[in-house]
Amino acid sequence: MKVLLVEDDPVQAMIISRFLHQSPELEIELEQVGTLGAGIDRVKQGGVDLVILDLNLPDSDGIHTVRRMHATVEDLPIVVLTGEKDDELAYFCIGEGAQDFVSKDGLTPKALMRSLRYAKTRMKENVTLKCMVRELAETKARMEELAVQDGLTGLLNRRGL
């Protein structure tokens, strides 16, 4: 799994890197950038499976960080990893498109890996659900069309008239 870490603190980045490489069940390829702008540029290039996003960066802070990243990559799981322990902020981050909100305080390698796995699974389910909704809407539109048109001629039938 290719993970992009958007973190400006090199010590925190090193700790997270060690946590990710301690996992025996997943092979993680980690890339780290220090600003939101660099993170957005990197995900636009493609090849990233998941983003770990710090909220307080030199070029963005708070909920705006999540909004900007999610606007760039709607179908990419975002895990917010921050030093803040604000439940209301966590709620808003999830509402803005993050898959999870994890505090750096007391973080363990096992908890981080669980969060990444769950985030990736939830995102896959969301994408599948969006596809199903789109297919359902297309099928419904086609059924409505067939209900008022003659199948052979394409002209309006009695119900259509």
* Half-sphere exposure for 55 (CA within 13 Å, toward CB): 22
**What SS3 class is residue 138?**
helix
Nearest alpha-carbon partner for 112 in 7, 17, 4, 10: 17
pLDDT digits (tens, 9 = 90+) for 32-61: 999 999 999 999 999 898 999 998 899 988
pLDDT at 132: 94
What is the dihedral sign for C-alpha 112, 115, 118, 123?
Answer: negative
pLDDT at 23 over 80: no
Contact call for residues 70 and 97 (beta carbons, < 8 A): yes
- R_g of the chain computed on alpha carbons: 21
pLDDT at 128: 84
Q: Give me the residue label for tokens 């908890």.
A: 111
What whole-number distance in Å separates Cα of residue 80 and Cα of residue 55?
Answer: 7
Tell me, what DSSP letter sits at residue 57? B
CA distances from 30 to 3, 50, 139 (A): 5, 10, 41
Mean pLDDT of 16-43: 87
Taking the whole predicted model, whether its pTM rises above 0.95 is answered as no
pLDDT at 26 over 80: no
